[in-house]
A and B are shown apart, each in its own frame.
Chain A
C-alpha cells in the first residue's frame, strides 16, 4: 500500500497522467521485457540443478508443468571436484584481489597529483591519460607478452596483476581525480598551514573522505577482473593457474553438449559477481556510469 501511494505521488510529480488503458499497456510491455531479460539466465540456473538425464531429455521450462521434478546439487559437486572448479575459483580470487587493490594505491597517488597539486605539464599529461583510456588492449598484448617471456613474468600471477593494474590505471586515475577536485580547497590550506606534508594530506585527509569513490572503484574493478577472459588467456599458459573464465572455455570445448555441467560451471563463475551485486547494489549506479569511459 505504502509503495503504491508513494508511486502515485511520484507519478504526479513527474507530470505523468495515464489512462487506465495506457497503464495496462505499460505494465504489459515491462512484463515482457523483464521476461526476456530473465529467462536466458533462469534457464541456465534451472538446468544447473536438474539431473543430467533430465537436462538431456527435456527442456528446462518443463519443470513448471511437470509434477515429477527433482532438483539436486550434484552437478555443482561434479564440476567443483571432478573438473577442479574449486581450484579455478580460488585462482580467480587470487588474481582478482591484488588486481583490484594495486590500481587503487597507484591511481589515487596519481589522482592526488592531477587533482590537488599544481605542476608544470599537469594538464597536458592528464589529457594524454584521457586519450589512453580509449586505446584498445589489442595494441598492447603482444609486446607486453614478449617482454614478460623474457623477464619470466609470463604465466605468473604477479605478471597478470601488473597487467590488470596498468590497463585500468588511466581510467582509475580519471575517476579518483574527478572526486578529488571536488574536495574543498580550504581543507588543504588548513592542513598545509598546520605544517602537514603532501603525503600526510593524501593519506590522512583525502583518502579517508574519498571512501565512496574507492568503494565504487573496488567493486567495479573486482567484477571486471573476475569476469575478464582475454588477459588471463594471453598471459597464463598453465592450466593450474587458470581462472574460472578460462576454465569454462576449456569445459566448453571438451563437454560442449553436457549442459548440466556447463550450466553448473557457469553459475560457479557467476556466483561471485551476483553476490557482490546483490550485497553492494547501491554502489552500482555510480560505478557503471563512471566505469563507462573505461575499456
Chain B
C-alpha cells in the first residue's frame, strides 16, 4: 500500500462529512460576513460598509442603550446571562452533586433535577409562563407570594424582572448538566486524600473548599465554557417565553438576530448581529482547539 493510496482513502472516508460541513457551515459563514456589509432583504442590495455595525452599537436602543442608567439592550442582557446563568447552574449543580453523593435518595433526586434538560427549551418556556403567571390562582410563584402577604409581580411582563426570570428558567435547565459532570468528577476524586484530611481533623466545609473544589477546577471550567457557548446561541427559550418583550426588554443577541432577520426581514442587519456572535465566540473556538491539542498529547 503506497502513501498516495492511503491519502486518497482517508480523504474518501472523510469526504461526506467535509462536503456537508462546507456547504452548510463554512460557505454560509463567509456569505453572512459578506452580507453584513450590505442592506437588503434576502438578497444583498446596497454596500454600506460598516454602517450595520455602527447602527448596532450606537443607534439601536434594543441592542445597546447606554443613554440612561441602568444600561439596557440585548448585549447588556446577554452579559447578565453570561454572569448569572453559569454561576447559578454551577452553584446548584455542585451543591446537588456533593450533597446528594451517597445519599439514600441520590438516584431519585438526580432524576428529578435531570427532567428539565430532557424536555425542550420550548416546553420549559411554557412551564415557566405558567409558573410566573400574574394571576395568583394560576401562577404558583405569585400564589406563594400572595399567601406570604406580598403583592403578585409581573415576572415576564415588566422590564425590571423579565431578564432575571428567564435566567432562572435557564438555570433550572442547565443545573442538570453541571450536576452530571460534577457528580462524575466528584465520585472519581482521590479518596485517600480526603480520608487523610479527615484524619487530620478537617471539617466537611474545609475539605470541600480546600481539597475537593480545587481538584474539580477542570470540570468547573468545562461546564462554564459549555454554558457560555450556549448562552450566546439561545433563541428558543426567549422566543417562546416572551417574544423578547415587553418592548424588547428581554432580548439577547441570538434572539435579536432572529427578530431582525426573520421578523423585520432586515437581513443585512441581522447578518451583522450574527457576525458579532461569531466574533464573541472566536476566542472560545481557539480555546477549544488548544484544549483538544493539549489533551491529545
Contacts and interface: CB of A to CB of B under 8 A. Distances in A.
Interface of A: 3-4, 7, 10-11, 13-18, 22, 26-27, 29-30, 33-34, 36-41, 43-44, 47, 55-61, 106-107, 109-110, 112-114, 117-122, 125, 127, 129-146, 149, 162-163, 165-167, 169-170, 173, 198, 202, 223, 226-230, 233-234, 245, 248-249, 252, 259, 262-263, 266, 269-270, 273-274, 276-277, 281, 284-285, 288-289, 292-293, 295
Nearest to A62: B137
B204 A7 contact: no
A32 to B, nearest CB: 11
Contact of A295 (B27, B230, B275): B230
Nearest to A43: B140
Contacts, number: 307
A204 to B, nearest CB: 15
Interface string B244-255: 000000000010
B273 interface: yes
A270 B119 CA distance: 6
Main secondary structure of the interface of A (DSSP, over half): helix
A33 B179 CA distance: 12
A59 B130 CA distance: 11
Contacts of B140: 39-40, 43, 59-61
18 contacts: A30-B99, A37-B112, A44-B127, A61-B143, A117-B6, A119-B7, A130-B292, A131-B286, A138-B273, A142-B32, A167-B24, A170-B21, A202-B13, A249-B240, A269-B122, A276-B118, A277-B118, A289-B184
B174 to A, nearest CB: 10
B226 interface: yes
Contact of B278 (A136, A149, A263, A293): A136
Interface of B: 6-14, 16-18, 20-21, 23-29, 31-33, 35, 42-43, 92, 95-96, 99-106, 108-109, 111-123, 126-131, 133, 136-138, 140, 143, 172, 175-177, 180-181, 184, 191, 194-195, 197-198, 204, 207, 222-223, 226, 229-230, 232-233, 235-236, 239-240, 254, 257-258, 261-262, 267, 270-271, 273-275, 277-278, 281, 284-286, 288-289, 292-293
Contacts of B126: 44, 248, 252, 262, 266
Contact of B118 (A113, A143, A223): A223
B191 A14 contact: yes
Given A59-B140, A130-B288, A262-B130, A169 B230 contact: no
A259 B133 CA distance: 10
Contacts of B239: 229, 249
Contacts of A26: 99, 103
Given A17-B198, A142-B261, A269 B100 contact: no
Contacts of B232: 136
A169 B7 contact: no
Nearest to A198: B9
A169 B258 contact: no
A34 B113 contact: yes
B281 A30 contact: no
